[in-house]
Amino acid sequence: MTQDSFPKLTNDNDRVALVEGDKSYTYGEVNRRIDRLATGLLDGKDDLKEERIAFFMPASLDYVATMHGIWRAGGIAIPLNVASAVAELDHYLTSAGVTRMIANGKYQESLRDLCSELHIELVSSDDVLADEVAALPEIIPERRGMMLFTSGTTNKPKGVVSTHKTIHAQITTLIEAWAWTEDDVIPLFLPVHHIHGIINILSCGLWAGATVHLFAKFDIPKITAEIVAGSYNVFMAVPTIYVKLIQYFDTIDADEVQKICDGFRPMRLNISGSAACPVKLFEQWQQLTGQVLLERYGMTEIGMGLSNPYDGERRAGHVGQPLPGVEAQLFDEDHNPVTEEGVAGEIRIKGDNVFLEYWDNEKATIESFRDGWFCTGDVAVIEDGYYRIMGRSSIDIIKSGGYKLSALEIEGVLLAHDDIAEVAVIGVEDETWGESVMAFIGLRDGTRLEYDDLKRWCDGKMSAYKIPKAIKIIDALPRNAMGKVTKTELKKLL
């Protein structure tokens, strides 16, 4: 990695980098905007010296310019989920020590009170865009570059800090493994506060000199119209998106379905990840489109770790082998390496792709590593040379539609409800979402609670996708001798 190879975009020419609505932007245009934004952010300083700058915007030219502008000026970029509730944003901004926030239009309006309360300077992209470009600092690879929030087994999300070297490694391994070229065209409709959207799609696309077509959300009619028109040759999504596409096919004419499937057929690559792809879905997709889904496994802390091969057998229900530059090893409960095929163990990962630290949380960082290996908490077996994910070591982590949710975080919010005496949240198997959130609730004496009322109460207190999809009122939660709720017993109640 050379000094100017990252975070600078490698292409600086007339090829189209981004398409947004009916506008398109060349690499040259995107690069100029990034440099102007970086200059404006510096505002006369030599280097932002890892200032934490958050931004709150959907996938757009402004998003790309802001992310790269912060990188080039030496700051730490913190992209936030535009669907977050205020209480969640408060935690992100406070725990990361954010000093500046960039947001435009209605997004800026929605943040005004919170930023003022937290003494955070709130500006728009245009406010920081300098007219002229100044000299930008040299960024050594070991510098911190990005912080993403991830839910875990604690009740508040943690900031996962990556260096420029981490980001570079996460991108380049995928460019090599999945054979990205500048002829690729890919739609980006996933949220851009997570690795899947940021690294696998946007950053790989831009690094390869390809074209990334930006959507503010997963808009099925618009995206399928482009697919019918043959606009894309690569498609990456979470399993729920493939399920939703198949569900959509049930609502439209057969010849429309055929046209969409024929649009997928000639693509060079369809990828599924962020959650388990059921074998049934893998087979359905192949039957409909002829595409053999390439399933891979990753995590916010490591980017991508394991992947089925681009050339070679893509095995249903399996996530393949370690990516180039990534070391993976299964460990048993006594922390000994598992050497036999078919024996389950925790996946542990080493490599330049692994994050630096949890922000301001040395204890959590230390606890997540053992002998230099990052402990993922995911359990797998190796079968005929292919990893198969068997589940997670913690019942408190739920994967819903590709989002990682913390049961404890949701319980923490629900407990603030006046009528709720005790609550336990679990993930239940769900055909659309993979897992869906369910809350078991014990009520205070003499109270009643209807699902719709609780859902309304949750609005604004947590992101909508975290709100339980179902509740079950029970007399008392099952507990063990230590008084701890036994969630496995709750699963049995279903």
Q: Which of 141, 273, 320, 468 binds ligand AMP (CB under 6 A)?
A: 273
Return the residues of window 360-379 that contact ligand AMP according to CB under 6 A. 376, 378
Task: Give the integer Cα–Cα distance in Å for 27 and 111.
Answer: 31
DSSP single-letter state for residue 352: T
37 Cα distance to chain centroid: 25
Bridge partner list, 388? 381
Distance CA 249, CA 239 (A): 16
Q: Least CB distance from residue 58 to ligand MCA, whole Å? A: 11
Site for ligand MCA in 278-337 (CB under 6 A): 298-300
Of residues 196 through 215, those in contact with ligand MCA by CB under 6 A are 196-197
- Build a one-symbol-per-residue string for 416-435: x at contacts with ligand MCA by CB under 6 A, - elsewhere: -----------------x--
Name residues contacting ligand AMP, limited to 465-494 (CB under 6 A): none
Residue of 73, 101, 186, 238 interacting with ligand MCA (CB under 6 A): 238
Indicate which single residue of 274, 289, 365, 406 sits in contact with ligand AMP (rule: CB under 6 A): 274
**Nearest-approach distance from CB 396 to ligand MCA, in angstroms:** 16
Give the binding-site size for ligand MCA (rule: CB under 6 A). 25
**Measuring CA to CA, which residue among 144, 161, 172, 134 is closest to residue 2?**
172
193 binds ligand AMP per the rule CB under 6 A: no
Helices (H), 265-374: 279-289, 362-368
Total number of residues shown for the chain: 494
Which H or E element spans position 37? helix 27-42
Amino acid at 312: G
Q: Which residue is nearest to ligand AMP (CB)?
A: 404
410 binds ligand MCA (CB under 6 A): no
DSSP string, 212-261: EEE-SS--HHHHHHHHHTT--SEEEE-HHHHHHHHHHHTTS-HHHHHHHH
Q: Which amino acid makes up residue 215? A: F
401 touching ligand MCA, by CB under 6 A: yes
Lookup: tokens for 229: 């028109």
Q: Least distance in Å: CB of 152 to ligand AMP?
A: 8
Q: Where in 153-172 is the site for ligand MCA (CB under 6 A)?
A: none
φ, ψ dihedrals at 102, nearest 5°: -115, 125
List of residues contacting ligand MCA (CB under 6 A)? 190-191, 194-197, 217-218, 238, 240-241, 244, 273-274, 298-300, 400-404, 433, 464-465
List of residues contacting ligand AMP (CB under 6 A)? 150, 195, 273-276, 295, 297-300, 319, 376, 378, 389, 392, 399, 404
